[in-house]
């Protein structure tokens, strides 16, 4: 067992932090963008469009890049996906549009759709132009709960359709996970706030900060005061880790540390342990592991209860972690946290093996890893309590998610939901599509 926690700030040279937390992939310049765009076959029945949750006409925007019409390319992207800039950075394109690219099937090297999308949207956003306009006022008011991708996507589309929108946000900034929960090297340099400002620049959208559902606002009151309500609250509750000693200091949810890192003015001042253990197998586990490594942690290990194919982190993310020097150990689950003076110092793991239904089951064999800090990334869940505010009617929640139909309508008339709080892909691009789809359905509801 270790000799006590070794936690400190400034583990790297000052100049190294900017590189460690800069852009994960360098942007394309004009020449390289033109070369990459020329690789597109501009397929008539483009499989890449089908693979995009928001249905961006990918061949169309790439052709416009090739012909020098960057504004037209950006509009092809932003019309179906107002968060096209963020999605160009955070989308797992390797499992969506680029995986479906014909070039991938033929050569194993798809067109760099994500980088081309970023090329177009970045250049357009830099102009400060507002390409969209509001329709004539409908006289209707809509409440949106949550200023993340789902909420702002819904708000933007509703405002374009002529409705007045009030967004209620529990935090003091818009952006949701793009601002608070994505690895800093994926969306750096205040991009999330610049994109939110562009979206709000349409007009007709007011945001009230510090207004959390179940505290400052209630669903019952919003239904009384507004013609319709959209819920985009994400999954605010962190899954509990049931293992002996889980209450020791030094064990915390990965999302909490990621938020502190993203909001830190100077990442070099953020203390980090020398030995880090991350428990989980998703993209958040990779995000926290890579970021602590880049902060200067020497020994970072992800431990996952099943095999690599069962990890929800994409192959690209797993490769990134290992390229950064993170170890990934499979087939083990935490059994006991050991501590000194109330602070975690080691984790005892039990080896696992495949059991019934593909679930991991313990083997009884154990091993121990020393740790200065332990981060849990075993998933988040819907915090359903704020939804049940004593009203005669309540939302239907199934499988830990708000139940919705194909139009994103909930069991309550006039109430819609989207994003991570409903079942589906846990992706920014899917949240954007949910918000857009809900807005179109809400427009019909309000006008009927």
Task: Supply the pLDDT for residue 385.
Answer: 65
**Could you tell me the two tokens for 408?**
């994103």
Averaged pLDDT, 387-392: 64
Q: Residue 331 in contact with residue 318, Cβ under 8 Å?
A: no
- Give the bridge partners for 416, in sequence order: 230, 409
Q: Can you list the positions of beta strands (E) in 146-246?
A: 164-169, 205-209, 228-231, 237-238
Residue 337's pLDDT is what? 96
Q: Is 333 helix (H, G, I), strand (E, B) or coil?
A: strand
pLDDT, one tens digit per residue, over 157-202 is: 999 999 999 999 999 999 999 999 999 999 988 999 999 999 999 9
Q: How confident is the model at residue 235 (pLDDT cuts 50, 70, 90)?
A: confident
To which H or E segment does residue 346 belong?
A: strand 343-354
Q: What is the pLDDT of residues 259-293, one digit of tens each?
A: 999 999 899 999 999 999 999 999 999 999 999 99
404: pLDDT strictly greater than 80: yes
Structural domains present in the chain: 7-20+238-379 (3.50.50.60), 38-127 (1.10.1060.10), 141-235+382-447 (3.50.50.60)
pTM over 0.75: yes
What are the percentages of helix, strand and coil residues in the chain, rounded to 5?
Answer: 40, 20, 40
Quick count: other Cβ atoms within 10 Å of Cβ 320? Answer: 19
What is the predicted pLDDT for the residue at 358? 79
The confidence score (pLDDT) of residue 345 equals 96
Q: What is the mean pLDDT of residues 362-380?
A: 94
Q: What is the pLDDT of residue 391?
A: 61
pLDDT score, position 25: 84
The pLDDT, as a whole number, for residue 322 is 95
Mean pLDDT of the chain: 94
Average pLDDT (304-310) is 94
Residues 276 and 52: their CA atoms lie apart, in Å, by 36
Q: Which residue has the higher pLDDT, 238 or 76?
A: 76
Average pLDDT over residues 40-59: 96
* Whether the predicted pLDDT of 87 surpasses 50: yes
Return the structure tokens found at 205: 């959208």
Mean pLDDT of 92-108: 95
CB 121 within 8 A of CB 88: yes
**Whether pLDDT at 2 is above 60:** no
Q: Give me the pLDDT at residue 392, please.
A: 58
Contact between 250 and 347 (Cβ < 8 Å): no
% residues pLDDT > 90 (the chain): 85
Q: What is the pLDDT of residue 3?
A: 58
Q: Look at residue 418 in the predicted model and tell me its pLDDT.
A: 97
pLDDT digits (tens, 9 = 90+) for 406-444: 999 999 999 999 999 999 888 999 999 999 999 999 999
DSSP string, 1-66: --SS--EES--S-HHHHHHHTS-SSPPP-HHHHHHHHTT----TT-HHHHH-TT---HHHHHHHHH
The alpha carbon torsion through 262, 266, 267, 273 (nearest 10 deg) reads: -120
- Report the distance separating Cα 284 and Cα 302, nearest Å: 11
- Find the mean pLDDT for residues 250-263: 95
Report whether pLDDT(1) > 60.
no
Q: Specify the pLDDT at position 178.
A: 94
**Chain CA centroid to CA 424, Å:** 13
Q: What is the DSSP letter of 365?
A: E
What is the pLDDT averaged over residues 222-229? 97
């Amino acid at each position: 067992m270790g000799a006590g926690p070794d936690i400190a700030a400034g583990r790297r040279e000052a100049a190294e932090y900017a590189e460690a937390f800069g852009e994960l992939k360098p942007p394309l310049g004009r020449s390289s963008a033109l070369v990459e765009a020329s690789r597109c076959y501009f397929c008539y029945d483009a499989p890449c469009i089908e693979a995009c949750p928001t249905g961006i006409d990918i061949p169309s925007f790439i052709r416009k890049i090739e012909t020098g019409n960057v504004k037209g390319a950006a509009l092809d992207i932003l019309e179906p996906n107002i968060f096209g800039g963020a999605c160009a950075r955070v989308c797992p394109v390797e499992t969506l549009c680029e995986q479906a690219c014909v070039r991938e099937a033929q050569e194993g090297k798809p067109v760099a759709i994500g980088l081309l999308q970023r090329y177009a949207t970045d250049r357009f956003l830099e102009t400060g132009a507002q390409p969209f306009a509001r329709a004539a006022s409908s006289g209707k008011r809509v409440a949106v709960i949550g200023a993340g991708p789902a909420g702002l996507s819904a708000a933007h589309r509703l405002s374009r359709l002529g409705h007045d929108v009030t967004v209620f946000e529990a935090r003091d900034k818009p952006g949701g996970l793009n601002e608070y929960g994505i690895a800093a090297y994926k969306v750096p340099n205040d991009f999330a706030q610049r994109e939110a400002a562009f979206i709000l620049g349409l007009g007709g959208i007011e945001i009230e900060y510090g207004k959390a559902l179940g505290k400052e606002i209630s669903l019952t009151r919003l239904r009384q005061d507004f013609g319709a309500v959209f819920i985009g609250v994400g999954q605010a509750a962190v899954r509990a880790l049931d293992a002996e000693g889980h209450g020791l200091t030094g064990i915390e949810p990965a999302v909490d540390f990621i938020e502190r890192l993203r909001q830190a003015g100077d990442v070099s001042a953020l203390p980090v342990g020398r030995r880090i253990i991350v428990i989980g197998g998703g993209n958040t586990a990779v995000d926290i592991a890579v970021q602590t490594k880049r902060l200067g942690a020497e020994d970072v290990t992800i431990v996952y209860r099943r095999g690599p194919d069962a990890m929800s982190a994409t192959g690209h993310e797993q490769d990134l972690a290992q390229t950064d020097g993170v170890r990934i150990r499979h087939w083990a689950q935490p059994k006991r946290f050991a501590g000194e003076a109330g602070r975690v110092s080691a984790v005892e793991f039990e080896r696992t093996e495949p059991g019934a239904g593909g679930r991991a089951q313990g083997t009884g064999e154990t091993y121990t890893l020393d740790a200065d800090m332990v981060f849990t990334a075993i998933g988040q869940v819907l915090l359903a309590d704020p939804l049940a505010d004593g009203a005669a009617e309540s939302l239907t929640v199934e499988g830990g998610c708000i139940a919705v139909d194909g139009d994103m309508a909930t069991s309550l008339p006039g109430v819609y939901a989207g994003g991570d709080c409903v079942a589906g892909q846990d992706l920014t691009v899917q949240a954007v599509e949910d918000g857009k789809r809900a807005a179109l359905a809400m427009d019909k509801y309000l006008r009927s």
